[in-house]
Amino acid sequence: MVLEVTIPSPIPDDDIVKALSMVTGKNNSSVILSQSEMTYIQTDGVTLEYQEGSLDFHYFCPDPLTFDHIVLALRSYANDNDWWKTAIRWEKGYGG
């Protein structure tokens, strides 16, 4: 089952933290912030990945991230700030 919630920008920081708290540690649960169907950042509370426009441009973070780092990345993405893209190491493809 999928619960999808649409919140227009700007997305309040507290909503990002609440959503992430709900999925962290739960199987097959994720938070997805999307600009379109093919452009998004997503996390299950442990891993972080993003895609830009097509499956050919899908990336994942191979490094362990703390809850706080994931929150910062989601906040940065939601606020159209590129911090998430430069402060985190990304590899092309799909992570484990």
- Residues (pLDDT < 50) of the chain are none
Question: Is 33 strand, coil or helix?
Answer: strand
* Tokens matching residue 22: 């709900």
- The kind and range of the H/E element at 24 are none
The predicted pLDDT at position 3 comes to: 67
DSSP 8-state secondary structure symbol assigned to residue 55: G
pLDDT at 62: 97
Is the bond preceding residue 64 a cis peptide, omega within 30 degrees? Answer: no
Tokens at 74, concatenated: 């989601």
* pLDDT score at 96: 60
Q: Please name which of 15, 23, 33, 5 lies closest in space to residue 67, comparing C-alpha atoms.
A: 23
Report the SS3 class of residue 83.
Answer: helix
- Measured distance CA(21)–CA(52) in Å, rounded: 25
pLDDT score at 2: 64
Q: At what angle do helices 67-78 and 13-23 cross, to 10 degrees?
A: 130
